[in-house]
């Protein structure tokens, strides 16, 4: 039996540590040639060494995915090194935790630039090659926080935007041979430590016991032909259980507002036909704040 990613060249962003490292090692073990990218280039070098010592193929990239030109160079490195690009995992991301009234410009830019701008920049450059080749796979990385969560509004918003890119691009690319899906992973990584630090004495062990490696089979499935025909989907893995996430949508019934409508007409419809349809938020649709 052939390895699942034989003949494929893939770029995995932010793969010097944590979840990205696990995806890179698993992709190489399945026969892919891998560009191991990380802003912390020393960590990426260590992962490349691990892959090559095990007999795999990998090259290092220290590009910042949130820099448009650097993202172009990163994708170009894959094509120059391996002659092609078949897969891109937009894994690089940063978490900053703040109460909304304490949000800073710096934290906002860091979070949005790494997850959202990075995903757009790397995907745009990769798609230029993939659309021309008539094949390719993009795996985006979102989070359960995209559904709304205390103290992670901007992070969740950036991840929700990544989910929306997934829905939109899968529609744009329907006839192109390129598939786009997203994952919402879970693992105890450096990122989990950021949240634990914020919680302080209220911390209960964020994702303790969930190894990054446990998420890798989902990424390999999405990169491989095993997922042929699957596009525009967001899969969530919680360490044991695999789930499909619902897309945002409107809820029936639609209520008719008469011509010459006023705010009082709106109030009457909200209290009438739309009564009982208000949506709770959060990953398990629990709207009560977890803490004050």
Ligand X SMILES: NC(=O)c1ccc[n+]([C@@H]2O[C@H](COP(=O)([O-])OP(=O)(O)OC[C@H]3O[C@@H](n4cnc5c(N)ncnc54)[C@H](O)[C@@H]3O)[C@@H](O)[C@H]2O)c1
| Catalytic residue positions, numbered | 155
Nearest CA to 193 out of 66, 96, 291 is that of 96
Nearer to ligand X, 143 or 170 (CB): 143
Query: Rule CB under 6 A: is residue 66 a binding residue for ligand X?
Result: yes
Binding mask 12-51 for ligand X (x = CB under 6 A): -xx-xxxxx----------------xxxx--x--------
Longest CA pairwise span in the chain (Å): 73
Contact 240, 266 (CB under 8 A): no
The CB density around residue 255, as the number of other CB atoms within 10 Å, is 13
CB of 32: closest distance to ligand X in angstroms? 19
CB of 178: closest distance to ligand X in angstroms? 21
Residues whose CB falls within 8 Å of the CB of residue 277, separated by 6 or more in sequence, listed in order:
251
Nearer to ligand X, 14 or 136 (CB): 14
- Of these, 60, 94, 121, 130, which contacts ligand X (CB under 6 A)? 94
- Of these, 187, 216, 219, 220, which contacts ligand X (CB under 6 A)? 187
CB of 149: closest distance to ligand X in angstroms? 11
CB of 277: closest distance to ligand X in angstroms? 29
Binding mask 189-228 for ligand X (x = CB under 6 A): xxxx--------------x---------------------
Query: Rule CB under 6 A: is residue 121 a binding residue for ligand X?
Result: no
Q: Please list every residue from 127 through 186 that binds ligand X, using CB under 6 A.
A: 141, 143, 184-186
How many angstroms separate the first and last alpha carbons of the chain? Answer: 54
CB of 171: closest distance to ligand X in angstroms? 23
Q: Which stretch binds ligand X (CB under 6 A): 1-9, 52-60, 78-86, 89-97?
A: 89-97
* # residues contacting ligand X (CB under 6 A): 33
Nearer to ligand X, 1 or 244 (CB): 244
* CA angle (273 as vertex; 270, 279 as ends), nearest 5: 60
Residue/partner pairs of 230-234 with CB below 8 Å, 24 or more apart: 230/179, 230/181, 231/170, 231/173, 231/174, 231/179, 231/180, 231/181, 232/166, 232/167, 232/170, 232/171, 232/180, 232/181, 233/166, 233/181, 233/182, 234/142, 234/163, 234/166, 234/181, 234/182, 234/183, 234/184
Helices (H) and strands (E) in the chain, counts: 9, 8
Nearer to ligand X, 31 or 239 (CB): 239
Query: Rule CB under 6 A: is residue 56 a binding residue for ligand X?
Result: no
Nearer to ligand X, 170 or 215 (CB): 215
Nearer to ligand X, 209 or 253 (CB): 209
What token pair was written down for 40? 């912390």
- The residues pairing with 216 across neighbouring beta strands, listed in sequence order, are none
- The C-alpha atoms of residue 76 and residue 252 are separated, in whole angstroms, by 47
Chain residues in the site for ligand X (CB under 6 A): 13-14, 16-20, 37-40, 43, 64-66, 91-94, 114-115, 118, 141, 143, 184-187, 189-192, 207
């Amino acid at each position: 039996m052939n390895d699942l990613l034989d003949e494929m060249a893939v770029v995995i962003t932010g793969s010097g540590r944590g979840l990205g490292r696990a995806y890179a090692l698993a992709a190489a073990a399945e026969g892919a040639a891998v560009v191991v990218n990380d802003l912390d280039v020393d960590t990426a070098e260590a992962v490349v060494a691990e892959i090559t010592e095990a007999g795999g193929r990998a090259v290092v990239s220290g590009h910042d995915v949130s820099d448009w030109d650097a993202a172009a160079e990163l994708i170009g490195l894959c094509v120059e090194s391996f002659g092609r690009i078949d897969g891109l995992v937009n894994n690089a991301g940063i978490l900053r935790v703040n109460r909304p009234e304490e949000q800073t410009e710096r934290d906002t830019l860091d979070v949005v630039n790494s997850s959202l701008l990075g995903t757009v920049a790397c995907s745009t450059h990769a798609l230029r090659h993939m659309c021309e080749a008539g094949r390719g796979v993009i795996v985006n990385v979102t989070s359960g926080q995209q559904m709304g969560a205390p103290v992670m509004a901007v992070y969740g918003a950036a991840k929700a935007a990544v989910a929306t890119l997934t829905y939109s691009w899968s529609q744009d690319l329907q006839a192109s041979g390129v598939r786009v899906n997203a994952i919402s992973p879970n693992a105890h990584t450096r990122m989990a430590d950021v949240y634990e630090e914020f919680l302080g004495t209220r911390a209960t062990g964020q994702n303790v016991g969930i190894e990054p490696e446990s998420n890798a089979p989902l990424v390999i499935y999405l990169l491989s032909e095993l997922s042929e025909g699957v596009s525009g989907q967001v899969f969530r893995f919680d360490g044991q259980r695999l789930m499909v996430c619902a897309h945002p949508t409107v809820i029936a019934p639609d209520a008719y507002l008469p011509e010459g409508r006023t705010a009082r007409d709106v109030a009457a419809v909200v209290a009438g036909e739309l009564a009982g349809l208000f949506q709770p938020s959060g990953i398990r649709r629990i709207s009560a704040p977890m803490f004050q």
